[in-house]
Chain A
Amino acid sequence: MIYASLPDSPGGIARPLPFHLAMEEHLARNYPDGEYFFMWQVEPTVIFGRCQNPFAEVNLDFCRREGIQTYRRKSGGGCIYADMNNIMFSHVTTSGEVTTTFSRYCRMVADTLRLLGLGAATTGRNDVVIGDRKVSGNAFYHLHGRSIVHGTMLYDADPARMSQAITPSQAKLRAKGVSSVRSHVTTIREHLPQLTIEEFKQFCREHLCDSVQEMTPADIREISRISEEYFTDEWIWGRYGNRETTDRHRIDGVGEFSVSTDLIPPPEPGMAARIRKVNLQGDFFLLSDLDEGLLDRLKGAEFTRDGIMEALSTASPGEVIAGLKTADFAKLLLGAAPAVMATT
């Protein structure tokens, strides 16, 4: 395999995730022959799968507070949290047959770890495990005659932070899209505390690759061009309207609600989404105009508990829907509601 080598970025600052995903695409599109491999790291970033709804899968509030970047990739699967202690492996191949390509790649990764004395194995879910814990998760993206297989390799991790970032603050919205499967993880460092991250990368590179392709300034210009798409709101927050979520809840004494919420994506990473429109249907008892009394007031409000409470501060939900309280309604909108919610 050929190692695709990238000069250090100016100032030694880690390049953002889109650059590396664009580098995979560049190799796939413009280097039609040969099998390529490269490794990269990013500052704290949550990456969701091609068809995921980030509002339902990611704790966007937490990411905003912690300065964690959020991007969408083109491969399938669930969302992940990555930081400089996680090494991303990218593999670009001409092989198009999904099952074979995937299992061959995962076996190759597991074999590399076994050479270090680790009890690594592959699983049916495209993961590499040590014992019964996941150390690497992989995803697949198929484009014109070429395949990209890429995945995580946890050198070290902070599982609490990881799980906080990729657990939505609201209990799961039943959104259309692909859900994440959560796993217990382990790390290379847990098993090999003496091995530094650079030594580990060096080992993988030497074991997996026998030649090098240096990325030229022209390559880097093309990669930057390809990466632009990954930075757009349209790409990150959903091209085909999948930020709209629908959920059904019951509030005892009030009725059953089917709520659909259409959100405006945050204008920049680190800010809150806003409500474009909310629709309510259900068997509740309506006392006055629903739009005027309740739903219109939410337009433009921040999609957070505080934002909703503020938008409704002068509303009287109980005069619009019999028995409805503001706090319960906010919870309902945020999807915090369990299937049955008591009015307290």
Chain B
Amino acid sequence: MMIFFLQLSVLFLMIIIFNSFITNIESDQGISLTPVLNGFASVDVQDQSGLISKYINPSVINVIPSNFSTSLNNIALGKTTGFLYVPGNAAEKIRTGQSIDMIVYLDSSDPKSSVVRDEVNSTAKVISQSYSNSLSASATPQNTTIPTINQVSTGEPLPLQIIKKVMLVILLFLPLLLFGNIIIDSVVGEKERKTAEILIAMPLSQAQIIIGKSMAVALTISLQVFMWLIILLIAGFNINNPLFVFIFIFLTSIPIIGITTVVAAYSKNYKEAGIGLSIVYIGIVGFLIVPVLFYISRKSFLSNISPMTIVMRLFSGESISLPDYALALICILVVSIISYWIAIKLFERDDIIFGPRPGILRLIFDLITFKKF
């Protein structure tokens, strides 16, 4: 029950995070995933006309009206990151169509000087563009032919894809990685509680024990994934083909349970299993996520080796060809067969269940030479 509560609270927090990210992204003109830091850097400004300073983005830069000598002193004392000097006659120059020369003084000892430089540069560009347009409008006759620029965009912006697709697919796969402890408890727990002997003495084969335990966990995971999907759909997430998404996540859980069972079957105790599981799960997460990111940047066929890519494509409503499905399914099948075979073989060995446990190198040697294995 505790684990279920934990997972649901994680899900609710993630939904809030997603929504705030998407709101931020969709409300901003420029799409980025950088932190929103109020007053991260500060800049003193001497701008009597007030024409320039009002364009500086106040959400990152704290704009402080000041004068030349005070501001240079503030920079020397490290009280401000930069100082923007706009000539006093800027408004007059704009009126008479003359160019404006601004100076920005930056404190090189402050790492945030690049943030101020970038912001002041962007502001200067915006003003320059608008000023340039008004100058050209007044300098050229009205019947002058102007080349038109037609801009056409295709595809979804990358940050939006990362938030909407990658984070959602990670969320959908989360239950698969949260149930590792149940498998550990189910296999290592039997060893620690010394009930493994009784279990082995029962009229069941080792294969039946391993598969039986794995099936119980797989069913629990499927229930969790089902609940997860319902909550996400209620929360307004756009998930196309929910049934196929569910089936693919469930299928992916089978090899993951198999790999976890291998770790559990080999481990002596909870602690050892915990370390093993952490390391193995880093590898599994990498194997699942890297092809997804690769698919987003370059839509290559090999990216479909990760079932996560297929799930992402399924809920995005993309059409998926049969070879793409086949690649992911073959991967699931091969990893499942190998992992369950190793887990069963390990569970069949008395030296692993009751000790003294052989080392990993010894086991690999036995596997290569077909001894005992």
Our verdict on whether A and B bind, yes or no, reads no
- A residues with a Cβ closer than 8 A to B are none
